[in-house]
Structure 1
Amino acid sequence: MPIFFKNETFQKAKEMLAARKNFGANKAKEIYLLSGLIFCVGGCGVAMQG
């Protein structure tokens, strides 16, 4: 497999993604009854938000 990025660039990107992972989590001012219960059925399976 060809290498697209230098190892140090890849590591920096991983650190940046990890730092942003929980940004804004648990700041909702409302409690949603269906939170975490509805998922995309189009094939991706990602939890719906809103």
Structure 2
Amino acid sequence: MAGRLIGKSVNWRIDKLMKKNSLVIAIDGPAAVGKSTMGKLIARELGF
């Protein structure tokens, strides 16, 4: 039951983002290469 609730919550958020024409950026890579740091820098540059 909890999995279903979590799935619906995630789907609702994804639908909400898609309707707003939001920008989605995916940063992929192995551990300890700076993904979080890069994400923070990108967010700052984009004004988030």
**TM, length-normalised to structure 1:** 0.39
Q: Which has the higher helix share?
A: 2
**TM, length-normalised to structure 2:** 0.40
Q: Which has the larger radius of gyration?
A: 1
